[in-house]
């Protein structure tokens, strides 16, 4: 996903190097998300909304793929790519709150948005300290699950009203939405525990380095 560790140093921010194909794809996905939110607000073109979301979410790998293949990893891309991912998913959850038949509730949106904000802040803090806090398999599965949940919610709205009242379909939709929401919360907790271990390891390494330095100084004085 977009938060995978880099294999080369990023270059360029708002310069000529930032004007490349990967960043164009990312900006296109951002534009698609704005169109998607407009369609959801309109409240009737649900099949179109579902297809548009699938296209916007499924092309997430393209910008990262071309950035690595073409050697066009930039600072702007590193900022935009995860930002657009979160805009698409979090924005969809927020806009779907206004559609009761979608099954998305305010609590789900709060958990999804809150988790993304908290983990992003935590990642920024630890990386500022020089610690590796790149995304792991939990974060990748969480992102896939969220995309599936939004697709299911939009697809459910695209069904005829007679099918929307089918109890088995409602149950399946709710199980997916609540399951993804619970996993999202759990993934956030796993990142907190991971950050705590990273900080503890950093503190132990610093303490060991200090002790070793003090021992060396004592030996030199003898």
Instruction: Please tell me the total number of residues recorded for the chain in this structure.
Output: 222
Given a cut of 60, whether residue 42 has pLDDT beyond it is yes
pLDDT of residue 221: 54
Instruction: Report, as an integer, the average pLDDT of 211-216.
Output: 62
Residue-averaged pLDDT of the chain: 86
Tokens of 50: 């579902």
Q: Please, how many CA atoms are within 13 Å of residue 155, restricted to the half-sphere of its CB?
A: 14
pLDDT of residue 213: 60
Looking at domain 16-207, its CATH architecture is Up-down Bundle (1.20)
Q: How far is CA 95 from CA 28, 38, 123, 192, 201, in A?
A: 20, 9, 27, 28, 41
pLDDT of residue 185: 96
Q: Are 74 and 68 spatial neighbours (Cβ–Cβ below 8 Å)?
A: no
Q: Are 122 and 174 spatial neighbours (Cβ–Cβ below 8 Å)?
A: no
Given a cut of 80, whether residue 76 has pLDDT beyond it is no
- pLDDT: is 80 or 12 the higher one? 80
pLDDT bin (cut points 50, 70, 90) of residue 4 is very low
Which residue do the tokens 């990262």 mark? 64
**pLDDT tens digit sequence for 5-20:** 444 555 555 556 667 8
Domain chopping of the chain, boundaries = 16-207
User: How large a percentage of the chain has pLDDT more than 90?
Assistant: 55
Instruction: Report, as an integer, the average pLDDT of 184-194.
Output: 94
- pLDDT: is 172 or 67 the higher one? 172
**pLDDT tens digit sequence for 90-99:** 999 999 999 9
**pLDDT tens digit sequence for 122-151:** 988 888 888 878 778 898 899 999 999 999
Given a cut of 90, whether residue 109 has pLDDT beyond it is yes
Task: Tell me the Ramachandran region of residue 20: left when phi exceeds 0, alpha when psi lies from -120 to 50, beta otherwise.
Answer: beta
Other CB atoms within 10 Å distance of the CB of residue 208? 10
pLDDT of residue 36: 97
pLDDT bin (cut points 50, 70, 90) of residue 2 is very low
């Amino acid at each position: 996903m977009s938060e995978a560790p880099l294999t080369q140093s990023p270059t360029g921010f708002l310069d000529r190097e930032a004007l490349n194909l990967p960043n164009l794809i990312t900006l296109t996905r951002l534009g698609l998300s704005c169109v998607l939110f407009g369609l959801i607000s309109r409240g009737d073109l649900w099949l179109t909304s579902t297809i548009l979301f699938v296209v916007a979410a499924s092309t997430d790998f393209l910008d990262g793929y071309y950035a690595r293949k073409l050697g066009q990893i930039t600072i702007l891309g590193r900022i935009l790519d995860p930002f657009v991912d979160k805009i698409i998913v979090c924005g969809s959850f927020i806009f779907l709150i206004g559609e009761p038949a979608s099954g998305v509730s305010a609590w789900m949106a709060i958990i999804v948005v809150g988790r993304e904000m908290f983990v992003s802040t935590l990642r920024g803090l630890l990386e500022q300290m020089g610690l590796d806090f790149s995304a792991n398999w939990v974060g990748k599965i969480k992102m896939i699950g969220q995309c599936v949940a939004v697709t299911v919610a939009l697809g459910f709205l695209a069904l005829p009203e007679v099918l929307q009242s089918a109890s088995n379909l409602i149950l399946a939709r709710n199980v997916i939405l609540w399951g993804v929401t619970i996993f999202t919360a759990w993934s956030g907790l796993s990142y907190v525990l991971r950050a705590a271990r990273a900080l503890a390891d950093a503190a132990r390494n610093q303490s060991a380095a200090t002790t070793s330095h003090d021992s060396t100084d004592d030996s030199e004085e003898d």
